[in-house]
Amino acid sequence: MSVLREEPDHDAALERSVVLEAMGIAHEVEPAPDGRWLIVVDDGDRPAAEAALAAWEAENTPRPESVASPDYGKSLVSTVVGLAILGFAVHVGLPPARSLVERGSADAMRMLNGEWWRAATALTLHADLAHVAANAAAIAIFLGAVARQLGPALATWLALAAGIAGNVLTAVVAGGGHVSVGASTAVFGALGTLSALQVPRLRAWLTLGVGVALLGFLGTGARADLLAHVFGFATGVAEGLAVRRMRPPRRSFLQPVIALAAVAPIALAWWLALAW
């Protein structure tokens, strides 16, 4: 007789005893002086018993406890950004004054001639209440989701960068004659970042699918700027892939401060637009 297994508790020993019993292998379960439980078999049956338990244990490996994904927690920054977009649009008028559109829209020809600040100012101009309300609500949702994973500071600056880059790329590709306004480029940038943050998890395909669906549902209307939406989304995906291994920072008052400092480049862009 030889000891086949030493188990820490009686239940674990009984589970293996059932396996051996089912295979017709004679054995005994005995308590050990140190509180463990021993499974004892005949020497001749040991190879078969080892094989039976190894096969059972391979199929019944205990699953590791799922570890909760790091989460910054709730933040009001995304809501503030959405309200700021809505408030600015109401302040300048819906639709905005023609002079503001002429100075701040994403006019591809003028951007290619050096007025690159339009890539930022165009994000703040909207055609009507429905246009700005949809973008304000969407940015609050998607930016909020990204902020939970990266913190509100980085999430806000990434969305702004995606919006600006999307408008620049659109100007380069579309060329002269293309004019657009609206924060939707940044909205789709945030959605793209959110999608990429799921890689390599299966949810990445779900959020990428949602992005494509939203491009089709929201981004292809008569007044929609599909090209800017696509470039904003693609830029957001690239950003998300670049930072997907980052963990959210600790909660700090600096996070919302740094996030809201993103208004600085927009203010500078408008200063350049109005001074030009």
Cα 262 → chain centroid: 20
Domain 77-275: homologous superfamily in CATH = Rhomboid-like (1.20.1540.10)
CATH 3.30.70.1530 fits 2-59, yes or no: yes
pTM of this prediction? 0.71
Q: Which helix (H) or strand (E) holds 202?
A: none
CA-based R_g, the chain, Å:
30
Using a pLDDT cut of 70, give the percent of the chain over it. 87
What are 72's two structure tokens?
């910054």
Residues of the chain with CATH 3.30.70.1530: 2-59
- The amino acid that residue 237 corresponds to is V
Residues of the chain with CATH 1.20.1540.10: 77-275
Give tens-digit pLDDT for 144-165.
999 999 999 999 999 999 999 9
CA–CA distance, 147 with 152 (Å, rounded to integer): 4
Which of 224, 180, 182 minimizes the C-alpha distance to 85? 182
Give tens-digit pLDDT for 200-249.
655 556 666 666 666 665 544 444 578 898 899 999 999 999 998 888 99
